[in-house]
Structure 1
Amino acid sequence: MAAAEEEDEGGKMAAAAAAGGGCCLRPFSCEQGLLSRPDGSAAFLQGDTSVLAGLYGPAEVKGSKELPDRAALEVLLRPKVGLPGVLERSREQQLRGSCEGVLLGVLHPRTAVTLVLQVLSDAGSLLSCCLNAACLGLLDAGLPLSSLFCGVTCALRPDGAIVLDPTTRQEQEARAVLTFAIASVERKVLMATTKGSCSVEEMQQCLAAAQRAADTIFQFYRDSVRRKYSKS
């Protein structure tokens, strides 16, 4: 529990620094390695949105899914209640594409890697929280990555103002909601999704804001990993 409290405190401090710098992210925290069965696990909290990630593999793969040149990655997104629907299936594809963009699967051919994401609470910016939990789960499993990645959600208000890491209410009131998956190397965009209407210029403004916010999240990743290994 003490370790979890320290992780929480570290996340709040990082997010507070972000807010002070005009980043306006909600407080966030994480805990890695909290599950015993998966090869890697992480819980990520953004405001009141939280996601638990479990990573299994590389492991033996069934013949129908085996890929001769790389690991076969499967992503499963479980809602808080009920069974996965069309929205979850769509987000699974977006999450898988983002993870495949950095996972060095060629080092583990003919194997399977399975990422299971369980939504614990959804208070806005859920997809970006899933992306952040996924990255920390991959890190905890020790899988080879070409770079880190994170998710940042932007809400475009009717007056054109950009709200980073919006709550559910802010998303509902927004003219458009955009989520980006951003790699730590050269801030490359791994995935972008838009709901609502916005101009090309507004999308570029949202992307620039998301890339700036990503710096804060990547620094939080580094601080979290440093705290984890400094205890051992």
Structure 2
Amino acid sequence: MAAAAAAEEDGDGDGCCLRPFSCEQGLLSRPDGSAAFVQGETSVLAGLYGPGEVKGSRELPDQAALEVLLRPKVGLPGVAERSREQLIRRTCEAVLLGALHPRTAVTLVLQVLSDAGSLLSCCLNAACLGLLDAGLPLASLFCGVTCALRPDGRLLLDPTARQEQEARAVLTFAIDSADSRVLAATAKGSCSAEELQQCLAAAQRAAAAIFRFYRDSLRRKYSKW
């Protein structure tokens, strides 16, 4: 991988941290942009096609039509993949300056290579780097952060698959780089309003580390030219 980052403390005193992550852009030749993102043992490959010709009734007169396709490691996409596709699409639409490319189509294909927990946040991170590699105009960057609440109330960042299974609640936030605004969120399980705010605050702090990794990764990529 072109760049890697060690896990960082989230600063809340609970010992929560991000797993090591790495990325590589421009892996694929056919898409207009591509990126692989790895978080711990979870990895996702993103391919970005467009802006290009719109087929059928998908054409939008004032902006680009965005389609997101999430392919599992094995088998066909199911309900879980469709739900994640919608959240990723909403997140991308919130930052993509689609009005600059009206009557065109943009397709984002995400291939799950391995799922060892925090899959949705890994997909979001791969999607952002794929958009960047394609050179599409963005209002800001975004990243995904997953939090898990253990039965004892302890907060875990970037949980593994086993930690997600044992958790009382699992929350994933899509956060933008401009002002740490939440672009989209999803939750499974139950938590109090106070716990929700604690998870959000931890996710926003973790997002700052991911955005630093984005910048360092891009700096290293373009410094080779």
Q: TM-score range by the shorter chain?
A: over 0.9
Quick check: 1:23–1:213 contact (8 Å CA) kept in 2?
Answer: no
The answer to whether 1:150 aligns with 2:150 is no
Higher helix share: 1
Quick check: 1:156–1:177 contact (8 Å CA) kept in 2?
Answer: yes
Helix, strand or coil: the match of 2:6? Answer: helix
Quick one: percent identity of the two aligned structures?
83
Q: How far did 1:159 drift?
A: 1.0
Q: Which runs of 5+ in 2 are unaligned?
A: none
Q: Which runs of 5+ in 1 are unaligned?
A: none
Q: How far did 1:20 drift?
A: 8.5
Residue among 147, 155, 169 paired with 1:162: 155
TM-score (norm 1): 0.94
Residue in structure 2 matched with residue 85 of structure 1 by the alignment: 78
Quick check: 1:38–1:55 contact (8 Å CA) kept in 2?
Answer: yes
The answer to whether 1:73 aligns with 2:42 is no
Residue among 103, 107, 110 paired with 1:117: 110
Residue in structure 2 matched with residue 55 of structure 1 by the alignment: 48
Quick check: 1:23–1:212 contact (8 Å CA) kept in 2?
Answer: no
The answer to whether 1:188 aligns with 2:181 is yes
Residue in structure 2 matched with residue 15 of structure 1 by the alignment: 6
Q: How far did 1:209 drift?
A: 0.1
Task: List structure 1 segments (4+ residues) > 2 angstroms apart after TM superposition.
Answer: 19-23
Deviations along 1:84-125, one digit per CA (max 9) or x if unpaired, are 011101110000000001000000000000000000000000
The answer to whether 1:218 aligns with 2:211 is yes
CA distance in 2 between partners of 1:19 and 1:109 (Å): 42
Q: How far did 1:63 drift?
A: 3.4
TM-score (norm 2): 0.96
CA distance in 2 between partners of 1:114 and 1:160 (Å): 40
Helix, strand or coil: the match of 1:24? Answer: coil
After superposition, the CA RMSD in angstroms is: 1.1
